[in-house]
Amino acid sequence: MKGYYLAVITFSVENHLPRDCENLRENGDNNLRSGVYEIYPYGSRARPATVFCDMYTMGGGWTAIQKRVNGSMSFDRTWDEYREGFGDAGQDFWIGNDVIHQLTKGRNSNLYISITLGNGSKLYELYDQFSVSNEADNYQLFLAGNASGTLGDGMLHIDSSDFGLSGMKFTTSDRDNDRWAGGSCAAYYKGGWWFNGCYRAFLNGAWSPDRRGSPWYPTFNSGESIKETLMTIRSL
């Protein structure tokens, strides 16, 4: 009986590669733990992605697109690095803008952002609709629907046209696509992001006050008390 069960699992894995963490949860054991897994957003074994999966929050199945555990890794990276992704999925990493596009195109995805403090408490914000376009469109960000949680909305329903991030194109220090007339937000704030002119929410910058860090205004004016940030997505 054990041999038959193993054969069924092997057949399933070979013929249905998990596209994301939700797909991985659906195809496997509902008791999968949060951790690092391999997914296949392009549907091919030739292009796997190593990611962190949150298998606990709101039933699990969340694919991390960004993770920072202490702010020690610089996110002041080039356009190409943000396109391909960088870092260690178990520590600090960016999944890659190409993968984000692949995971969200033609799908309705939630975006869940959490910030964990040094004392262990956690604040979060949930966005109803999230997607990123392809490189030809400079990885333009689309957010829609409601924003809810304890962190406060710093990205979508902003009372200023200079800071709302929906519709913004990705900017890095070597490719400026923001709307700030004074220069490049990415070069000034030391990190790639969907800047407007410039932001109220920015999780890829330097956290120390002397580097003008303000990760999520007004909830966090600096990153001194922050232990970890996590950005995850899950299709509906």
Q: Which residue has the higher pLDDT, 16 or 21?
A: 21
User: What does the alpha-carbon distance between residue 199 and residue 154 come to, in Å, rounded to a whole number?
Assistant: 8
By DSSP bridging, strand 109-117 and strand 62-68 are unpaired
In Å, the largest CA–CA distance within the chain is: 69
Which domains occur in the chain, in start order? 2-235 (3.90.215.10)
Q: What are 105-118's pLDDT values in tens digits?
A: 999 999 999 999 98
| pLDDT (0 to 100) of residue 18 | 94
Percentage above 70 pLDDT, the chain: 90
Res 29 pLDDT > 80: no
- How far, in Å, CA of 224 to CA of 103, rounded? 32
Q: pLDDT (tens digit, 9 = 90+) per residue, 128-143?
A: 999 999 999 999 999 9
Structure token pair of residue 73: 């890794």
CA 13 → CA 5, 52, 82, 222, 235, distances in Å? 13, 19, 30, 44, 20
Higher pLDDT, 227 or 70: 227
Helical spans, DSSP H, in the chain? 2-15, 21-27, 79-84, 97-104, 185-189
